[in-house]
A and B are shown apart, each in its own frame.
Chain A
Amino acid sequence: MIKVNGRDKVWEENLTVAFLLERCKYTFPLIMVKINGKYIPKEKYKDTAIIDGDDVQVVHSIAGG
């Protein structure tokens, strides 16, 4: 299992940031990702692996109404 924004999610082999965003349907263009507190730049989403037990934060910078 991994945590995504504090909620449990099933971990799977070869999980990357890019794949996680796709799986969660996080399509918003302005998001900031941290894994175990470490900031991941957007250009590294495809290559950054998420391992079992990781704590992932995906913060959406949306202002709303």
Chain B
Amino acid sequence: MLEVSKKNKLLASFEFELGKVEKGYTDRRLYINLSENKIEEKPIDREVKETFTGGRGYGIWYLWDAVSSKTKWNDPENEIIFCTGPICGVTQYSGTGKTHVVSLSPETGTVNDNNVGGYLAPFLKFSGWDLLEIQGKAKEDVIIFIDGNKGKVIIEEVPGINSDTYSLIEKLTERYADDEKDKRNLSIVSSGRGAENTNLGILNVTWYDVRRRKVRIKQAGRGGTGSIFRDKKILAIITKYTGVNAGSNHAAYPELITEAGRRLTEEILGLDHIQNGMREIGTVNLLDHMQNYNCLPVHNFKFGSHPDAYKIDSKVWHQRMTQNQAGDSCWMGCAMRCSHAVDGFELTTGPLKGEKVLVDGPEYETTAGFGGNCGCFDPDFILEANFYCDNYGMDTIGVSTTIAFLMECYENNIINKEITEGLELNFGNTKAALELIHQMAEGKGFAKIAGLGIRQIKKILAEKYEADAKFLQDIGMECKGMEFSEYVTKESLAQQGGYGIANKGPQHDESWLIFMDQVNNQIPTFEDKAEALHYFPLFRTWFSIVGLCKLPWNDIEPEDNKQKYHGMEAAKVPEHVENYCWLFEGVTGKHLTPEELILQSERVHNLQRLFNLKMGFGTRKHDIIPYRAMGPVTAEEYESRKELYDLQLREIIKFNIKGKTTEEKIKVLRDYREKQYQMLCDAVYKRRGWDSNGVPTLDTIKKLKINFPEVVELVKEYQS
């Protein structure tokens, strides 16, 4: 149990009127300033509600208000904003427990958004808060405790406690729960030492797994939000709320919610085992398909498959993950139940060596990143890396993509043992990779550089070690400062755009079009791709403004979806879109059409693009991706798919390859593919109502009713 030591000090206390949720909203936000030990209730203005709907929409707007164009991620005025949404907390429909987190990122320097499971957002809302907004910095580590039943918030100084997640959340659960049964009423946010010492920090958000009697975690992973959390010296946030039920949102038309829930639950229970098996292995089902279709990142995205991939395929994880666990739902009532875990895993390295632990995961991204990209096709290594990254509060995607990049640098003699301080960072060296993860968490030696993320590593290697900056740019898989998530995009122009033009950086949660484009060939023209890159990012944005998880949208679909609908229409899963319209109307009482749903998102998505602009980013040059995301950088890569590339040169580019060297062919192919990418940007910008520099036009912001004076002034600065 966490000691109540003499060093602990109550810094602030605040009593509030108990939560009153009406049609999914509380219309107020909880504001905490850690520099001033101030806790306040603030309203959510009617205009903000009408314009930005909720969740991430609110988060981006209030962060815009809080920071200037000069604010850095570690300035006190930067905020971490935890957002709920009007549909958040519904218990009759799967995937409604997501928290969305908004802040200025240490990796990108601009606005970032995360989504994360666990019980935080519903508990926050039912306690009476649509948002939790934290500004300022504490002097020593603090715990923020929100009691949603007693109507009390306290900030307590608790110096000298190890911030690593697993032991901390166990201790805090013991301290704050009245008894075993009460543990399910807590949700804790924590991070770890890795977040303190790198830019790749995550937030872990808990729920209590009643079946296992264990505290479980999900991660807000991308962009370094955990590093801000620890920079503000927040050790943990604990929210306690008792009394969730089907009526907690005081919905306008509960019968609509029940009907939508019935339809989806029937599909999940009846079809999941023959569709994606989310209830058995979760997202890691993707690994086999990415391998088979050449999209699995191998050796820093050089290749799309590997003969050893079977060692980490879905069959392996089916055996390792404990099956039939009701506690694998990261919010109440979710039938998808995809938050799987491996129980009783014995750690072989690090501070917890020899202990048997529960590993939350692995998800697809972690498996592909550490397994394929680092060339370590070893499930035990993946589990150990997964556990320690979570425990230290580090992003498994950012860390694995960074290590893969360093491995390629090592194999190309750009770095050596002298620079890495003894680490032999060859692809496949599991021991060195784990050692690097431990060092990153401690901020030791070469890991100080590794923990900065690829963008800053490239700069250091070029400036300090005279590395070829152009080659590093080609193989360093980051865009806007964020590391790529784990898909090979060379043969999908649409997914290249999905990564490159994404507001926060190359994370797949904004769009995932690989199969629709590369395999099904359903969006062959630039206009088709632009339409897909208009609709799908906006559709996915909507989940974050109303408080939902993406997975039940299309990781399960009606049996006859592909027969009833065709092409891009089928990919929208129209019956699920209808469910979402019912859910929105059912909770808020406002009728919503599929077109209005997109409009709600479009306002938020454009404001986020403009936020990038405010921070000095957000134009065409910031949407450039490294060439490895577009095509083969090295002869080795070209030769690995020579037949395909030669065919494209002959048939599409009409280039006579006879007698040409591989290097000559790479150059011609590169020239063609880079131009294709620019043409895609042209088409997407046009479809989105942006100018040729990627800036939303005055007409667009007026149409979206986000033409606030400050926004208009900003856009005018960029008008040619």
Contacts and interface: CB of A to CB of B under 8 A. Distances in A.
A65 B275 contact: no
Given A59-B570, A65-B485, A65-B508, A5 B519 contact: yes
Interface in A48-63: 58-63
A23 interface: no
Given A60-B515, A62-B515, A65-B512, 12 more contacts: A25-B292, A27-B289, A27-B292, A28-B292, A29-B274, A39-B563, A59-B570, A60-B519, A63-B554, A64-B514, A65-B485, A65-B509
B292 A63 contact: no
27 contacts: A5-B519, A5-B520, A5-B521, A5-B522, A6-B521, A7-B521, A25-B292, A26-B519, A28-B289, A28-B292, A30-B274, A32-B563, A58-B520, A59-B522, A60-B519, A61-B557, A61-B561, A61-B562, A62-B286, A63-B276, A63-B551, A63-B555, A63-B557, A64-B286, A64-B487, A64-B508, A65-B508
Contact of B562 (A7, A59, A63): A59
Interface of B: 274-276, 283, 286, 288-289, 292-293, 364-365, 485, 487, 508-509, 512, 514-515, 519-522, 524, 551, 553-555, 557, 561-563, 570
Interface in A24-52: 25-30, 32, 39
Contacts of B562: 32, 59, 61
B557 A65 contact: no
Interface of A: 5-7, 25-30, 32, 39, 58-65
B365 A65 contact: yes
Nearest to A7: B521
Contacts of A32: 562-563
B interface: dominant SS: helix
Most chain A beta carbons < 10 A, residue from B289, B365, B554: B289
B484 to A, nearest CB: 11
A41 B408 CA distance: 46
A60 B288 CA distance: 14
A32 B514 CA distance: 17
**Chain A contact residues: over half helix, strand or loop, or mixed?**
loop
Contacts of B521: 5-7
A65 B553 CA distance: 12
Contacts of A65: 283, 286, 364-365, 485, 487, 508-509, 512
B84 to A, nearest CB: 24
A61 B554 CA distance: 9
Contacts of B485: 65
B366 to A, nearest CB: 12
A32 B283 CA distance: 22
B553 to A, nearest CB: 8
Contacts of A28: 289, 292-293
A26 to B, nearest CB: 8
Contacts of A25: 292-293
Contacts of A60: 515, 519-520
A5 B567 CA distance: 11
A64 B512 contact: yes
A39 B369 CA distance: 38
Contacts of A26: 519
Contacts of A39: 563
Of A6, A30, A61, A62, which is in contact with the most chain B CB atoms at under 10 Å from its CB? A62
A62 B557 CA distance: 10
A24 to B, nearest CB: 9
Given A28-B292, A32-B563, A39-B563, A61 B524 contact: no
Contacts of A64: 286, 487, 508, 512, 514-515
Given A5-B519, A5-B521, A61 B292 contact: no
CB-based closest 5 A-B pairs: A65-B508, A64-B512, A63-B554, A5-B521, A32-B562
Pick from A5, A26, A58, A59 the residue with the most CB of B within 10 Å: A59
A39 B276 CA distance: 22
Nearest to B514: A64
Contacts of A6: 521, 524
B275 A30 contact: yes
A65 B293 CA distance: 15
A21 B557 CA distance: 23
Q: Which of B283, B520, B522, B551 has the most CB of A within 10 A?
A: B520
A55 to B, nearest CB: 12
A3 B555 CA distance: 29
B122 to A, nearest CB: 25
A28 B524 CA distance: 21
A62 B562 CA distance: 11
Most buried by A among B487, B519, B524, B570: B519
A25 B404 CA distance: 28
B115 to A, nearest CB: 13
Contacts of A58: 520
B500 to A, nearest CB: 16
A46 B613 CA distance: 56
B90 to A, nearest CB: 21
Contacts of B275: 30, 61
Contacts of B292: 25, 27-28
B557 to A, nearest CB: 7
B239 to A, nearest CB: 29
Contacts of B508: 64-65
B123 to A, nearest CB: 28
A33 to B, nearest CB: 10
A25 B288 CA distance: 12
A25 B275 CA distance: 19
A45 B506 CA distance: 38
Nearest to A25: B292
Contacts of A62: 286, 289, 515
A59 B524 CA distance: 14
A58 B522 CA distance: 10
A54 to B, nearest CB: 16
